[in-house]
Structure 1
Amino acid sequence: MKTPPTGAPPYWADAKKHLRSVDPVMSDLIDEYEDPPLRSHGRLFETLTRAIVGQQISAKAADAIWNRFITTVGEVIPDRILKTSTDELRAVGLSGRKVEYIQNLANKGDWLKQQNWSVLSDADVVKTLCTLRGVGPWTAEMMLIFTLMRPDVLPLGDIGVVRCIEKLYANGNRLAPEQLTKQAAPWKPFRTVGVWYLWRHLDAEPVLY
């Protein structure tokens, strides 16, 4: 597998310029939350593990569990996961199902490394990752954004993103998926960056998976 990129995306400046030109709401968000940009640490397994931890719980709860998780496990690599007992993993606050998912992911560590993710389309990355137990579209999209740093990802399974679009663009009214997609269409081909600024609006502390 080609080594995932690290640091800030090369498209960031172009993306901000584009978003400013097509969306005054996004322009205001960029002014308010200028730096730092999205960054990747390039650790695919860690990104997927953290995304599983964060499934269907609040960001605050996910951060608390993650901090206990890394205190218990140490370096987030398959070998360390497999050497940590189920009881120890449950003790950090993970459900039994999430422990099972993370252990299964650790057993697939070599398979993850063997995939040539960089040549796959966004849709094919999601399709391939969703063959793993416990990995759905949202979890796969976190890898697209935070490990592969793909520029045009719109994770409609992220309730924070959905509610933020509804608040900023629809006076808090609920929007159907097709309406959300239409609202974000002007951000193309940089919807990832639009999503990043929505996350910053929800929490000024930069998101990292």
Structure 2
Amino acid sequence: MSTHTIKWKEDENGLIIFTPDEFSFLENLRYLSRSANECLYEISHQKIRRALSIKNEKPLLEISAVSDKLLYVQFLGDHEPVTYQAKASIAAYIHDWFDLGTSLIPFYEMARTDLLLHKLANQFFGLRILGIPDLFEALAWGILGQQINLTYAYTLKRRLVEKYGDYLEYDGTKYWLFPAAETIAGLMVEDLADLKMTVKKCEYLIDVARLIANGELSKEDLLNEGDVKSAEKRLTRIRGIGPWTAHYVLMRCLRFPSAFPIDDVGLHNSIKLILGSEKKPTKEEILKYSGAWKNWESYATFYLWRVLY
């Protein structure tokens, strides 16, 4: 979980956010560019454009980097936030999205001598776990991605976003916002029929949206559980949230460093690939490999995933 304060300042056209030493904007852009069907941001000329909904404001941001030492955030169109508080919230969102509060020095020290990670630590140096700061979006993405390939998961996300999300328009392009939990909470399963996903997934999505909209589930609640096991239990009590989805959310939204989706197919495939093995590793073998990763399981998993996607 992020431990450092957010270092940022206002600039005449936007914000400047300071980044830690072990950060590479290009490495993170490569990760963010992995699907041509991403609908929540656009990447062009080494700049990210995305809309946010924060503090009752909907700014359109353009994020670029100056020599990896700082991120430069410009507000496009007539969407500049007025209050200092809104700007602070935007800086906090970006800080969380790029996980800038985590020092990766101990991770790289551990990875240097690790059988599976030593090459990846060099190859992807500066890559962060790109987060999903909004709990509903993280849970929805986890549910959408269950038991289907990544390409189809992106298709389902786009259908959901373009049917129920808001957007800002700038220079003829629509910049979409993920639907609010409150919006999805008000739907029936039939409303989601033309998204072409299973009835069960529709039910899970609406159930989770209602829990969040009713205040029965929040990021604060899960963080207050204090440790990864308790937070996992809290999530897996929800229908449709198994251990894989729980750990995915604990890793990418709650930032629990020891979140570890050990049954993940991608994790197994990347270990198989790195070892040049004929067969996937057993759970016992994975536990043995991960013995040295204590409190870095989430980063180890993310770097291993990166080999494949």
TM-score under structure 2 length normalisation: 0.60
8 Å contact kept, 2:219–2:254: no
Query: Is 1:40–2:131 an aligned residue pair?
Result: yes
- In 1: Cα distance, 2:222 partner to 2:204 partner: 21
Partner of residue 166, structure 1: 272
Structure with greater helix percent: 1
Shift of 1:114: 7.9
Partner of residue 146, structure 1: 252
8 Å contact kept, 2:250–2:256: yes
Shift in CA distance, 157/25, structure 1 to aligned 2, threshold 3 Å: closer
Moved over 6 A (4+): none
Shift of 1:169: 3.0
User: 5+ residue gaps in structure 2?
Assistant: 1-91, 166-177
Partner of residue 198, structure 2: 95
8 Å contact kept, 1:9–1:39: no
Q: 1:120-135 counterparts in 2 under 5 A?
A: 120=225, 121-135=227-241
Query: Is 1:118–2:223 an aligned residue pair?
Result: yes
Computed over aligned residues only, the root mean square deviation of the Cα atoms, in angstroms, reads: 2.2
Partner of residue 206, structure 1: none
Greater displacement, 175-184 / 35-44 = 35-44
Shift of 1:142: 1.2
Structure with greater strand percent: 2
User: 5+ residue gaps in structure 1?
Assistant: 204-209
Shift in CA distance, 115/151, structure 1 to aligned 2, threshold 3 Å: closer
Shift of 1:45: 1.3
Q: Per chain length, whose mean CA-contact separation is higher, i.e. which structure has more relative contact order (CA < 8 Å, sep 6+)? A: 1
Shift in CA distance, 139/9, structure 1 to aligned 2, threshold 3 Å: farther
8 Å contact kept, 1:48–1:143: yes
8 Å contact kept, 2:184–2:206: yes
Partner of residue 78, structure 1: 181
- In 2: Cα distance, 1:53 partner to 1:26 partner: 29
Q: 1:179-198 counterparts in 2 under 5 A?
A: 179-198=285-304
Could you give the per-residue CA deviations for residues 87-145 of structure 1, whole angstroms, max 9, x where no partner exists? 34221221101001111111111111285222321001110111111011111101110
Of the three residues 105, 114, 118, the one matched with 2:208 is: 105
Shift of 1:39: 2.6
Could you give the per-residue CA deviations for residues 65-89 of structure 1, whole angstroms, max 9, x where no partner exists? 1111111120332211134453342
- In 2: Cα distance, 1:85 partner to 1:24 partner: 49
Greater displacement, 75-84 / 104-113 = 75-84
8 Å contact kept, 1:65–1:94: yes
Shift of 1:12: 4.2
- In 2: Cα distance, 1:39 partner to 1:195 partner: 13
Percent of aligned pairs with the same residue?
Answer: 23
Residue aligned with 1:64, SS: helix
Residue aligned with 1:108, SS: helix
TM-score under structure 1 length normalisation: 0.86
8 Å contact kept, 1:54–1:62: yes
Q: 1:15-26 counterparts in 2 under 5 A?
A: 15-26=106-117
Shift of 1:46: 1.1
Of the three residues 96, 103, 124, the one matched with 1:6 is: 96
